[in-house]
Amino acid sequence: MLRPILARALPLSLLITMWPVEGAPQTRELKNPVEGQQKAIEQGEYVYKSRCSECHGLDARGYRAPDLTSGQFSNGTGDAQLYRVITRGIPATEMPGINMNEDEVWALISYLRTVAVPGTNANARGNAQTGAAIYSGKGGCARCHMVNGKGGRLGPDLSRIGVARSRMALAREIRSASEYIPQAYEPVTVTMRDGRQIKGVRKNEDSFSIQIMDTNEQLSTFLKKDLRDVIDEKKSLMPDYGPDKLTEAELDDLLAYLRTLHGR
Ligand code: HEC
Ligand code: HEC
């Protein structure tokens, strides 16, 4: 009776030893066996450019994903923690688990240590409290974005945006939203047979139908045979906030506020 239970319990306990839960005492800390080794760093750079740069940027300063050059990681800066984030990803976020062999992961971590430039902290600029007031006040951001369950739904939920994007990517998005438009938020205009037009973001589309959320947050599905036209717009439904709408100082405040949004 007891044997199968033990047999099942054993690998689990091994797993717990290798992957300590955050905050739990760590029985054995994984260490990078090739730390600082030139060959590993070069291999790691190659792996980085092919597997990570698409989201974190060629210079690791963050594009659609956080800046990796600050030397600090919100999910833990130790070798073991980085190993876990890279191989398993961060569940329920856009950071995927990446399938690689152990040597590649350690080489990658050796490389990541070389790109860290601690102390370059543009994040320190701005006042988060003033930023929060701009966000819900003159910025009008809450009209279209949800933060912790409150706000509009036309744009993406921003509850976790402070850890999910680099400062640079956020600044670019606010100044010129149309430069990058994530999937499920592409602007479209559909024209009905009677000439009526509806603007919204594309949630789904197949050969026969299209589902959009219109600017009143109404979800509607249309059969294409009932439509005269589906126009892919170039311009995001998010307005551009140029310096006329937000000064550099106000943008800094707003970014300081967004940096505080860490989600669950
Ligand atoms: C599809 C885009 C994508 C790819 C590819 C990707 N990442 Fe990420 N990564 C993200 C996003 C988005 C986050 C932030 C997730 C969150 O916390 O919401 C993230 C988070 C991280 C973090 C945690 C940062 C912190 O502060 O704790 C590390 C470390 C990381 N990625 C390293 C890598 C490495 C190394 C690779 C290549 C092997 C890689 N990522 C590939 C999108 C990506
Ligand atoms: C009229 C609605 C609307 C308003 C107002 C608006 N946004 Fe957006 N926002 C959107 C839409 C739609 C998208 C997705 C399309 C895109 O990326 O341009 C978006 C995208 C974003 C993104 C990118 C999210 C991601 O996953 O990368 C950020 C960040 C953002 N908005 C911040 C803001 C801030 C800050 C404000 C206020 C200064 C604001 N938005 C005002 C509709 C809006």
CATH classification of the domain holding 147: 1.10.760.10
Q: Which ligand is nearest to the CA of 216?
A: 2
The pLDDT, as a whole number, for residue 2 is 46
Same domain, 75 and 152: no
Same domain, 23 and 95: yes
Same domain, 132 and 247: yes
Please report whether residue 135 resides in a domain: yes
The pLDDT, as a whole number, for residue 5 is 45
Please report whether residue 7 resides in a domain: no
The pLDDT, as a whole number, for residue 185 is 97
Contact predicate 126/253, CB 8 Å = yes
The model scores a pTM over 0.95: no
Average pLDDT over residues 21-33: 65
Residue having the nearest C-alpha atom to atom 8 of ligand 2: 238
Please report whether residue 3 resides in a domain: no
pLDDT tens digit sequence for 76-130: 899 999 999 999 999 989 999 999 999 999 999 999 999 987 665 556 789 999 9
Same domain, 208 and 193: yes
Contact predicate 91/83, CB 8 Å = no
48, 51, 55, best to mutate for ligand 1 pocket (most atoms within 8 Å of CB): 55
Same domain, 212 and 145: no
| Ligand 1 pocket check for 53: Cβ under 6 Å | no
Round to whole Å and give the CA distance between 109 and 103.
10
Please report whether residue 9 resides in a domain: no
Instruction: Give me the amino acid identity at 37.
Output: Q
Same domain, 149 and 250: yes
Please report whether residue 138 resides in a domain: yes
Q: How many domains does the chain have?
A: 3
| Ligand 2 pocket check for 256: Cβ under 6 Å | no
Q: What b-and-e string marks burial along 69-103, b requiring 16 or more CB atoms within 10 Å of the CB?
A: bbeebeeeeebbbbbbbbeeeeeeeebeebeeeee
Residue having the nearest C-alpha atom to atom 43 of ligand 2: 238
| Ligand 1 pocket check for 164: Cβ under 6 Å | yes
Please report whether residue 10 resides in a domain: no
Please report whether residue 264 resides in a domain: no
Please report whether residue 101 resides in a domain: yes
Q: What b-and-e string marks burial along 172-194, b requiring 16 or more CB atoms within 10 Å of the CB?
A: ebbeebeeebeeebbbbebeeee
Q: With 90 as the cut, is the pLDDT of residue 236 above it?
A: yes
Same domain, 36 and 80: yes
Same domain, 126 and 252: yes
Same domain, 51 and 140: no
pLDDT tens digit sequence for 180-230: 999 999 999 999 999 999 999 999 999 999 999 999 999 999 999 999 999
Q: With 50 as the cut, is the pLDDT of residue 243 above it?
A: yes
